[in-house]
Amino acid sequence: MAAGTAMETMTMATASEIAAEEFSAVVTKHRPQIFRFLLSSTRDPDLSETLTQECFLKAHRNWGSFRGDSSAMTWLMRIAINLQKDHWRNRRLQFWRQTQTHAVNLDEASDWLPSGERSVEQQLLAKERVRQVGEAVEGLSERQRTVFLLRYVEEMELSEIARTTGLNEGTVKAHLSRALARVRAELGGRR
Amino acid sequence: MNFEDKIDAESGVGKFADELGELDEAVSNFRLSVRAWSDAELSRPRAVALPVRRRIWRLAAGWALGCVLVAGSLSGGVYEHLHRQQLARIAADRAAEQQRLAAQERARLEEEDLLAKVDSDVSREVPSAMEPLAQLMAEDESK
């Protein structure tokens, strides 16, 4: 009887160790992508870092209940999207709090474009275009922005976006279409 | 499936190849820019921000502002209530005063009527011997 209990305790300890190792691997693998999505969405590195940490904290707490129906990435991205929504909602409600954000302006954000083998003129033009895309993305609704970033920055498939956002594929396509039209109009209008 | 085909399939618009080429390039550059920025931010050492004290101050200031707002609205309501009560009292006092004056006026008129009646009654009780004289006085008064 005692031997059985010891065995069970050992098995449980081993299982939790395995789970911790698994989760650690998941964090290492997916943290850059989650951070990148939040950064592109908020343009605030500090906020993105905080939300990324909250995302993994929440994931860690619920890791036991993750059944693997969707990929870990989809699950984590869904948590990140919800955290971001909650953050903005709380921000709106707590109107008396300092409204200062550390969002980087679009000019600064577009400076990160790798120069490649382009001429100076081409680089400037490309940066200007990136800035315009950034402006258009900023002007999108929350849902359109999320769908656009998941598709064109994270390069996720439509079905995966649908699973992540909880929308059906048709709705995802519609949001994407409107977002692209907005970006196209922004690029066309500034020519 | 290349980018243009994707856009074509997703947005249902694929007529303008030049425009799409430009859009393709702009979106690709946007992606590259975001990725480079994200990689740089991830590798940047980050100090822990926001000292707790500032948060506490903010919280305290938030509560103080909230309390001031609540107190202000409550005192405003109470003031308004008292002000209305005072106005109602003044109006009631005025109405009572007017009623009192009207009653006084009525009493005065009644008294005058009574006195006039008494006078006329008394005047009739002039002795008959004095009647011609009384008539003469009445005639003089009427002239």
pLDDT in tens, A48-107: 999 999 999 999 988 877 777 778 889 999 999 999 998 888 877 666 555 555 666 766
Question: What tens digit of pLDDT does each residue of B56-102 get?
Answer: 888 889 999 999 999 999 999 999 999 999 999 999 999 999 999 99
- Say what the pLDDT of residue A115 is: 72
Please report residues of B whose CB lies closer than 8 A to that of A184: 19, 23
What chain B residue is nearest to A52 in terms of C-alpha separation? Answer: B42
Question: What tens digit of pLDDT does each residue of B13-28 get?
Answer: 445 566 677 788 888 8
The alpha carbon of A69 is separated from its chain's Cα centroid by a whole number of angstroms, namely 20
Judged by CB atoms closer than 8 Å, whether chains meet at B37 and A39 is answered as yes
Measured between alpha carbons, how far is A102 from A46 in angstroms, rounded to an integer?
7
pLDDT at A180 over 60: yes
- Say what the pLDDT of residue B99 is: 95
Q: CA torsion sign, A72 to B24 to A188 to A42?
A: positive
Q: What pLDDT band is residue A30 in, cutting at 50, 70 and 90?
A: very high
What chain A residue is nearest to B22 in terms of C-alpha separation? Answer: A187
- Say what the pLDDT of residue B105 is: 94
Q: What pLDDT band is residue B47 in, cutting at 50, 70 and 90?
A: low
Please report residues of A whose CB lies closer than 8 A to that of B40: 112
Measured between alpha carbons, how far is B109 from B116 in angstroms, rounded to an integer?
10
Judged by CB atoms closer than 8 Å, whether chains meet at B41 and A39 is answered as yes
Q: Tell me if the pTM is above 0.80.
A: no
B128 token code pair: 């008959």
Average pLDDT over all residues of chain A: 83
Q: Compute the nearest-CA separation of B52 from chain A (Å).
A: 15
Question: What tens digit of pLDDT does each residue of A124-158 get?
Answer: 888 888 888 888 998 899 899 999 999 999 999 99
In sequence order, what are the residues at sequence separation of 6 or more whose Cβ sits closer than 8 angstroms to the Cβ of residue A138?
A: A43, A106, A145
ipTM > 0.85, yes or no: no
Judged by CB atoms closer than 8 Å, whether chains meet at B10 and A177 is answered as yes
What chain A residue is nearest to B69 in terms of C-alpha separation? Answer: A96
- Say what the pLDDT of residue A3 is: 55
Judged by CB atoms closer than 8 Å, whether chains meet at A109 and B37 is answered as yes
- Say what the pLDDT of residue A21 is: 80
Q: With an 8 Å Cβ cutoff, is A133 touching chain B?
A: yes
- Strand, coil or helix: what is B85? helix
pLDDT at B140 over 70: yes
Measured between alpha carbons, how far is B73 from B76 in angstroms, rounded to an integer?
5
State the helix-helix crossing angle for A169-189 and B17-43, rounded to 10 degrees.
Answer: 100
What chain B residue is nearest to A189 in terms of C-alpha separation? Answer: B19
Q: CA torsion sign, A75 to A76 to A78 to A79?
A: positive
Is the model more confident about B3 or about A36? A36
Of residues B38, B37, B22, the one with CA closest to residue A189: B22
- Say what the pLDDT of residue A72 is: 87
Average pLDDT over residues B2-7: 52
Average pLDDT over residues B95-120: 92
Which among A40, A46, A188 has CB closest to B49?
A: A46
Question: What tens digit of pLDDT does each residue of A107-125 get?
Answer: 676 777 777 667 788 888 8
- Say what the pLDDT of residue A191 is: 47
